[in-house]
Amino acid sequence: MATPAFSSDRDRLSSDFWEGRYQADTPPWDLGQPAPPLVRLFTSPGAPAPGKTVVLGSGSGHDAVLLAQQGFDVIGVDFAPSAIAKASRLAATAKVSAQFLQRDIFDLLPEYEQQFDYVVEHTCFCALEPTLRDRYAQLVHQLLKPDGHYIGLFFTHNRPGGPPFGSQPDELRQLFGRHFQILSLEPTADSISDRLGEEHLGRFQKC
């Protein structure tokens, strides 16, 4: 994800920007598979129990399909129409019932307030303007049922600019600690090679 050129601030990271990236070619962030740290978590003996789940910025749908395969009732949300189309095809091919909704994640409220046992994300937080981070943390909190869990795989690089906009573990603890109990926030040893040493897997519980 190289830093794009913007014609104006209003264009920054709009659905048109992301849609253009999907239409141009296979987007560089698309692993073509679920993220290995999420596979490890959701297929381990101590995996979270299946529940109603929203995957934010679900892209081509690999992580949402993984969860559906593990018995989760999943809806993936993305505002790029090509991402929704790809993800829907992936779910059909995998013969799982994951649903995909084309919508701006910030427009999920009030319709989906307190609807989910889990909010899951992978490279959605880092795709947003950093000025939206407080609003994002509040969104995640409001989407969750009481005691619901937020599970995020964060891109913790420290290069300037973005997307992907990096974040540091202390910053994540401070931001999400205002709304959640931090169950764990650990570096991952099984990230893909070009993100190794630059990802943290976080598990947070709504409080």
Ligand X SMILES: C[S@@+](CC[C@H](N)C(=O)[O-])C[C@H]1O[C@@H](n2cnc3c(N)ncnc32)[C@H](O)[C@@H]1O
**Which residues of this chain interact with ligand X, rule CB under 6 A?**
18, 29-30, 57-60, 77-80, 83, 104-106, 122-124, 127-128
Residue number, nearest CB to ligand X: 59
Nearer to ligand X, 136 or 180 (CB): 136
Considering the complex, what minimum distance in angstroms separates the CB of residue 28 from ligand X? 9
Cα(88)–Cα(97) distance, integer angstroms: 9
HSE, side-chain direction, 13 A CA sphere, residue 51: 16
Nearer to ligand X, 102 or 114 (CB): 102
Contact status, residue 198 vs residue 190, Cβ threshold 8 Å: no
Considering the complex, what minimum distance in angstroms separates the CB of residue 52 from ligand X? 19
What are the CA-CA distances from residue 182 to residues 33, 115, 152, 185 (Å)?
27, 21, 12, 7
β-pair partners for 52 = 73
The closest alpha carbon to 42, from 4, 84, 70, 6, belongs to: 70
Nearer to ligand X, 34 or 148 (CB): 34
Q: ∠ at Cα 63 (60, 68), nearest 5°? A: 110
Considering the complex, what minimum distance in angstroms separates the CB of residue 207 from ligand X? 25
Nearer to ligand X, 124 or 185 (CB): 124
Considering the complex, what minimum distance in angstroms separates the CB of residue 50 from ligand X? 20
Q: What is the largest CA-CA distance in the chain?
A: 49
Q: For residue 188, what are its two tokens? A: 């991952």
Cα(88)–Cα(69) distance, integer angstroms: 14
Nearer to ligand X, 3 or 181 (CB): 3
Considering the complex, what minimum distance in angstroms separates the CB of residue 23 from ligand X? 12
Nearer to ligand X, 58 or 156 (CB): 58
Cα(157)–Cα(152) distance, integer angstroms: 15
Considering the complex, what minimum distance in angstroms separates the CB of residue 144 from ligand X? 17
